[in-house]
């Protein structure tokens, strides 16, 4: 069981960090006044512009720069709109500077995939050490790389995967600058916002800062020690309010379950429409008058905090966005990242000579891992999944998030094998890992595949010896990226993985190109499929062989834990049913609840660089047999002359992969 005193001790250990973190929604600008989001600054004008649909993309006006102070603009608006012939668009053009059209990067003819990505880094780099007093942009002290397209600011979790590529290209200066910017945000606001816009300050995104520091530490050995204070601030933000919780209660981003186990969820401090999707959110809420609009708005915002905006993962009915209830779901990927944060804080503390703090963080990581094994493992299905606070059951849906415990080495070998087998059977498609098995029309569902999820999958599978399946995912996704690039000379934010050579669809906005995290992951994957001594500029003609290996696991102490088959509902969530995971059906019906839970697990390993050796006592009889030694490898259809069909993964004549991160 979680030991509450660990949180209390940690609270004292990091001094005033928690005292300095409040529900800050807005930022100080250079003049010292509070920078508020545009929906508050411009009230009725903002609402009228967004609901009039003056711009195809609602983010356009949210990013506009006022030419005068809000009071003057609003006074003019109230006076002029009463006049005959008032033109709202003309008023906006007179009083605001709209964001510039996205830059078009035209690569030289015949440019290779790698050269194209390297050429994009300066195109995607921004410097905004200052910003207007009234616009939504938050200045950052150092240069940073943006995703591209409509995403003209830095985004939190995107940046980690972008940094992978920057590091691969030798741009460690940019990696360090971006880590410094995120440290600045933590020092300024107590958390890293979704992006550097005032309207993003009410939420964060998947917590990758500690992994960014870990990446930088491969180049700067002092990085963990240097950024430990900011890592502790981020941890305090995610755990804020935990000490006051009783079992069965929740507060913002943290929940305490019946047995005292502590896990985290996504949360946005505001419960209004998102300024960047104002009318969309209003229309979504209008379709569900039986639910308070503020409840829907918060769940929409919290889904944006998850990075998966939007997905059937958060919805009761995958065809109806208004059934979203993100805040009543405990996400497996978020808690895996929190486990990783705790492990890295332990290492940073140990490196800094603070063995007491290191021990506390190791204890917190151990407690979290035990809670994950009880609440976030679906014994009946044989994979990791989210936990439903309303139904008090682990959810049945298989998503790519199931691979996050493997990515952070929090899984036992047995459970990693089962999860890998499930992913191979249901998620691996012609063009990579599918986000989910449900086709809902939302962008974080089938048939879309996203670069960060491909990376998490390949790294997680490799961590537990499933190297052939990992190589298969890598090859399929790279084939998708290469074929799309050959046809369109660009990389995009997401891909249709049901085939190869096609960008993804769905969601609130058109497909964007650029694209930061795709660029980063592609460069890392190119090194996986090319021999170390002979790096390649594009997808090679032949897939390298990859042989499965037993994962190296650290010894773990054994200890019995009581089964935890249910958790109390939080008091601020609506009752709802759990969606189905049937991969072939677009609609989702309510499945039978899952009550099978393992009766005991062992305590986790305390090493930061080895998979944990947790054991389970009740393997599911319904789980398909692990097939790590015989991955299914089909040849993605070739759509260009630059990549030949792939051979079987056990082709010994092919080059051996370069193992990343080892």
157 shares its domain with 205: yes
Give the whole-angstrom CA distance, residue 259 versus residue 250. 13
Confirm or deny that 275 is annotated as ligand binding.
Answer: yes
The residues annotated with a catalytic role in the active site are 309, 493
281 marked as part of a ligand binding site: no
Which tokens in the block code for residue 374? Answer: 């009880």
State how far the Cα of 625 lies from the Cα of 596, in Å rounded to an integer. 18
Find out whether 274 is annotated in a ligand binding site: yes
Are 17 and 50 members of one domain? Answer: no
How many residues are present in the chain? 662
Q: Give yes or no for a contact between 490 and 131, defined as CB atoms under 8 angstroms apart.
A: no
Asked if the structure places residue 265 within a domain, the reply is no
Q: Are residues 296 and 406 in the same domain?
A: no
Report the C-alpha dihedral over residues 137, 142, 148, 152, rounded to 10 degrees: 10
Do 524 and 125 meet the contact criterion of CB atoms below 8 Å apart? no
Same domain, 237 and 325: no
Cα dihedral sign, 252-257-258-259: negative
Strand locations in 415-455 (E): 428-429, 432-433, 448-450
**Whether 40 and 30 share a structural domain:** no
Number of CB atoms found within 10 A of residue 185's CB: 25
Residue 503 phi, psi dihedral angles, 5° rounding: -70, 160
Q: Is residue 136 part of a domain?
A: yes
Same domain, 23 and 120: yes
Together in a domain, 6 and 28: yes
Which residue, of 223, 245, 267, is where some domain finishes? 245
Q: Of 55, 74, 97, which marks where a domain is finished? A: 97
Residue 518: strand, helix, or coil: helix
Longest dimension (CA), the chain: 79
Closest CA to 487 of 500, 468, 472, 469: 500
Q: Is 121 annotated as a binding residue?
A: no
> Does residue 256 sit within a domain?
no
The reply to whether 150 sits in an annotated binding site is yes
Tokens for 386, please give them.
């989210």
Together in a domain, 147 and 284: no
Domain membership of residue 224 as a residue range: 1-35+110-245
Separation CA 593–CA 238 (nearest Å): 30
Instruction: Report if residue 430 sits inside a domain.
Output: yes
Q: Is residue 338 classed exposed, middle or buried when 0-12, 13-18 and 19+ CB atoms within 10 A define those classes?
A: buried
Count H helices and E strands in the chain, helices first. 21, 18
Is residue 376 domain-resident?
Answer: no
Q: What is the DSSP letter of 232?
A: H
Q: What is the dihedral of CA 454, 315, 23, 273, to 10 degrees?
A: 110
Same-domain check for residues 455 and 325: no
Residue 620 vs residues 173, 371, 377, 625: alpha-carbon distances, Å: 48, 19, 11, 10
> Do 521 and 426 share a structural domain?
yes
**Cα separation of the two ends of the chain:** 34
Q: Please report, for the domain that includes residue 422, its CATH number.
A: 1.50.10.10
510, β-bridge pairs: none
**Does residue 344 lie within any of the structural domains?**
no
The residues that bridge with 460 in the sheet, in sequence order, are: none
Place of tokens 């595949």: 449
Asked whether residue 417 is assigned to any structural domain, the reply reads yes
Q: How far, in Å, CA of 482 to CA of 515, rounded? A: 14
- 250 within domain boundaries: no
The parts of the chain modelled with pLDDT lower than 70 are: 1-34, 102-103, 531-533, 550-662
Count of structural domains within the chain: 4
Same domain for 196 and 212, yes or no, is yes
Give the domain-ending residue among 194, 225, 245.
245
Calpha distance 73→78 (Å, rounded): 9
**∠ CA 336-340-344 to the nearest 5 degrees?**
170
Q: Specify whether 41 is located in the same domain as 31.
A: no
Are the C-beta atoms of residues 516 and 161 closer than 8 Å to each other? yes
What is the enclosing helix (H) or strand (E) of 35?
strand 34-35
Q: What is the pTM of this model?
A: 0.81
Tokens at 443, concatenated? 């962008």
């Amino acid at each position: 069981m979680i030991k509450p005193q660990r949180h209390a001790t940690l609270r004292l250990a990091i001094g005033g960090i928690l005292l300095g973190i409040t529900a800050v929604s807005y930022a100080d600008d250079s003049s010292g006044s509070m920078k508020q989001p545009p929906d508050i600054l411009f009230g009725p004008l903002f609402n009228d512009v967004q609901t009039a649909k003056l711009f195809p993309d609602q983010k356009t006006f949210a990013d506009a720069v006022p030419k005068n102070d809000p009071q003057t603009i609003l006074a003019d608006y109230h006076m002029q709109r009463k006049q005959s012939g008032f033109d709202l668009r003309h008023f906006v053009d007179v009083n605001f500077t709209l964001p510039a059209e996205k830059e078009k990067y035209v690569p030289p003819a015949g440019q290779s995939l790698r050269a194209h990505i390297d050429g994009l880094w300066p195109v995607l780099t921004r410097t905004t050490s200052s910003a207007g007093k009234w616009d939504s942009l938050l200045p950052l002290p150092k240069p940073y790389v943006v995703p591209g397209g409509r995403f003209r600011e830095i985004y939190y979790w995107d940046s980690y995967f972008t940094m992978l590529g920057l590091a691969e290209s030798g741009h460690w200066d940019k990696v360090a600058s971006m880590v410094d910017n995120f440290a600045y945000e933590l020092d300024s606001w107590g958390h890293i916002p979704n992006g550097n816009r005032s309207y993003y300050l009410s939420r964060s995104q998947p917590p990758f800062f500690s992994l960014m520091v870990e990446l930088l530490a491969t180049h700067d050995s002092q990085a963990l020690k240097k950024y430990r204070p900011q890592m502790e601030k981020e941890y305090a933000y995610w755990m804020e309010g935990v000490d006051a919780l009783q079992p069965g209660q929740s507060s913002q981003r943290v929940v305490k379950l019946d047995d005292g186990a502590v896990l985290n969820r996504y949360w946005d401090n505001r419960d209004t429409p998102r300024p960047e999707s104002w009318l969309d959110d209003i229309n979504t809420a209008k379709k569900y008058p039986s639910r308070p609009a503020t409840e829907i708005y918060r769940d929409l915002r919290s889904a944006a905090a998850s990075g998966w905006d939007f997905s059937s993962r958060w919805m009761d009915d995958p065809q109806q966005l208004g059934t979203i209830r993100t805040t009543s779901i405990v996400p497996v990927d978020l808690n895996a990242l929190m486990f990783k944060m705790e492990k890295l804080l332990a290492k940073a503390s140990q490196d800094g000579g603070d063995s007491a703090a290191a021990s506390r963080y190791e204890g917190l990581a151990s407690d979290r891992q035990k809670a994950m094994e009880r609440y976030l493992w679906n014994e009946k299905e044989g994979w990791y999944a989210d936990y439903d606070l309303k139904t008090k059951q682990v959810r049945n849906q298989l998503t790519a998030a199931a691979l996050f415990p493997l990515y952070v080495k929090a899984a036992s070998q047995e459970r990693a094998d089962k999860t890998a087998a499930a992913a191979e059977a249901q998620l691996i498609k012609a063009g990579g890992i599918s986000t989910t098995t449900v086709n809902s029309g939302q962008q974080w569902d089938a048939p879309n595949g996203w670069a960060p999820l491909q990376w998490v999958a390949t790294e997680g599978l490799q961590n537990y010896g499933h190297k052939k399946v990992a190589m298969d995912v890598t090859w399929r996704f790279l084939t998708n990226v290469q074929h799309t690039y050959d046809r369109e000379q660009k990389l995009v934010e997401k891909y249709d993985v049901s085939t190869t050579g096609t960008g993804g669809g769905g969601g609130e906005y058109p497909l964007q190109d650029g694209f930061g995290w795709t660029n980063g992951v592609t460069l890392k994957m190119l090194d996986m499929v090319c021999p170390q001594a002979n790096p390649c500029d594009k997808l090679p003609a032949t897939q390298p062989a990859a042989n499965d290996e037993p994962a190296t696991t650290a010894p773990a102490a054994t200890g019995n834990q009581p089964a935890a088959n249910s958790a109390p509902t939080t008091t601020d969530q609506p009752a709802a049913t759990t969606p189905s995971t049937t991969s072939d059906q677009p609609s989702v019906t309510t499945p039978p609840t899952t009550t099978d839970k393992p009766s005991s697990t062992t305590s986790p390993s305390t090493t930061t660089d080895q998979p944990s050796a947790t054991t389970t006592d009740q393997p599911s009889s319904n789980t398909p047999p692990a097939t790590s030694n015989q991955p299914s490898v089909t040849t993605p259809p070739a759509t260009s002359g630059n990549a030949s069909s792939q051979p079987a993964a056990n082709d010994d004549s092919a080059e051996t992969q370069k193992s990343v991160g080892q």
